[in-house]
Structure 1
Amino acid sequence: MTTGIDARLDRIGTNDSYVIVPMDHGITLGAVDGLKDIESTIDAVTRGGADAVLTQKGVAPRVHEHKNGKGYIVHLNGSTSIGPDENDKRLTGTVEEAIRAGADAVSFHINVGSNHEPDQLTQLSEVTATARRFGIPVLAMAYARGPDVDPEDPEALGHAVRLAEELGADIVKTGYSGDAESFEHVCESTRLPVVIAGGSRGTDRETIEMVRGAMDAGGAGVSMGRSIFQHENPEAIANAVAGVVHHDLPVEEALAKAGLAIEA
């Protein structure tokens, strides 16, 4: 790594662990709850303990004044849920555009095992090469997704995170395999920091138990969108997640300190 990459990784994490809140879903899903007034959501999650937020480049003017000094990541590809194939992520920006937008890092999504994997693999390689020249970290969102792929299979997830390292990423996000024991294989498949996706919202306890399991398996944190930004109290759930990631709290204590009810 270069000095620039190390310095910028510090801006999007805390002591080599990461609570990132992606809010690039406006392309995929439209202006869903939590994204219409994205300014307030960004303010809430960063006050709650998020290290960084993530959006597409066009939203950058709505980010900086509201992120409370936290990090900013620009996402470089996307697709829509109403298009012909949501797995067909297409380029939406460049590393240079992200730098001009004030980003501390860039991210790129690849669906390993999908029909679009070849093109996305080539594009991720090009993104990491360009980012390296500028000293910008790359978060690879490497999912196991395809017609014959189980998205929670630890072997497939391990392959996805290893692919990200092989192509030059600095952090890798992937799905959770469902339990800490199986997720250990995923974390052991790469030397990169591994952060988990959140997926669709569950209960507060389910969310924090998932984070706890990932950390117990050797994970480095989360890149969790809807589970945080669509919560009725984004600041509180971000605080609970950060309690586990940054302070090693057990589930009940993280929920209680965040002021969230502990479900039976």
Structure 2
Amino acid sequence: MSVIPRINRLFGDDGRCFNVAIDHGFFNEWSFLSGIENMKKAITTVVEANPDAIQLSLGQAMLLQEIPGKQKPSLVVRPDVANVYGSELPSYLFSKLIDQAVEQAVKMDAACIVVNLFLIPEQPELHASCIDNINRLKPACEQYGLPLMIEPLVMLPNDEKGGYMVDGNIQKIIPLVRQATELGADIIKADPCDDLEMYHKVVEAASGKPVLPRGGGKASEKEILERTYALIQQGASGIVYGRNVIQHENPKAMTRAFMAIVHKNEDVNTAMRILEEGSYEQTHR
């Protein structure tokens, strides 16, 4: 079955997508809950800003899907749970799929499913588990016409940085992006590289599949908007941001600022003005 109908639900006429990730509670990590303590409120706030998609676990997906009307964002489902996000890695690492993940996602009317492909130093078993997860999901995704988004994540050693830290080495990112493509990804969700001017090489490695850079940890407004603009100019097909939206004091205005860059090719100054106007409205209403 073709994935094109659901791909078209995710991406605008311009071929771009802004997916807001609000699946962080899945990972049993205290710091990830900031801004999403009240999930219904967090989802409603983001929906009002009208991004293209919202990424959730199946346990929280109904909070989006029960909202009435035709115009709400599409649902992206996260079916794999992992324990790699703490400041210290546990003695046993895992990345496990929920049962019948694709069937459950389809029943929830998801437009896409997203799964990790971790590459953590000296943890080959975890990488192998991720490949097993992908190989289990791909045939079912094909059967039901559900796009498979693969998230290749190259991480720094925990003893070097401590915690969930990205390795921006393009020579590590590109092979993992290519591996994700070879494994059957319909969409790639990849980290930015250290030199943003080289990100077109990451896009090239995806062999025509849309690449949506990941936001990662919370950054300053100017920094994340500048990064977003640079990535779009390098050929990215959109973004997948979570904490840089939900941990902002005005998630709705932040979403609108990102949407302006992604879909209207606005520059950073314009996006900052949208953000400032939204914050002013929130303060004075």
Distance 1:226 1:174 in 2: 16
Amino acid paired to 1:73: V
Quote the offset at 1:224 in angstroms: 0.7
Q: Which stretch of the first structure deviates more once superposed, 67-76 or 119-128?
A: 67-76
Distance 1:260 1:66 in 2: 27
State TM-score, norm by structure 2. 0.83
Q: Equivalent of 2:75, from 37, 47, 72?
A: 72
Amino acid paired to 1:53: I
Please state if 1:160 is matched with 2:166: no
Please state if 1:231 is matched with 2:230: no
Amino acid paired to 1:187: V
Q: How many residues align?
A: 260
1:111 alignment partner in structure 2: 118
Quote the offset at 1:228 in angstroms: 0.7
Would the aligned equivalents of 1:79 and 1:86 in 2 still touch at CA under 8 Å?
A: no
Runs of 4+ in 1 over 6 A off after TM superposition: none
Please state if 1:255 is matched with 2:272: yes
Within a 5 Å distance, the mapping from 1:115-264 to structure 2 comes to: 115=124, 116-145=126-155, 147=157, 151-190=167-206, 191-259=208-276
Change (3 A) 1:238 1:87: farther
1:97 alignment partner in structure 2: 104
Would the aligned equivalents of 1:179 and 1:213 in 2 still touch at CA under 8 Å?
A: no
Distance 2:246 2:91 in 1: 25
Would the aligned equivalents of 2:43 and 2:63 in 1 still touch at CA under 8 Å?
A: no
2:282 alignment partner in structure 1: none
Distance 1:107 1:8 in 2: 14
Would the aligned equivalents of 2:166 and 2:191 in 1 still touch at CA under 8 Å?
A: no
Please state if 1:52 is matched with 2:62: no
Q: Secondary structure in 1 aligned to 2:75?
A: strand
% identity of equivalent residues: 23
Quote the offset at 1:230 in angstroms: 1.2
Amino acid paired to 1:185: K
1:36 alignment partner in structure 2: 37
State TM-score, norm by structure 1. 0.90
Change (3 A) 1:85 1:194: farther
Q: Which structure 1 segments of 5+ residues have no match?
A: none
Q: Deviations over 1:77-103 (max 9, x none)?
A: 012445726963221341111112221
1:10 alignment partner in structure 2: 8
2:64 alignment partner in structure 1: 63
Amino acid paired to 2:97: L
Structure exhibiting the larger radius of gyration computed from Cα positions: 2
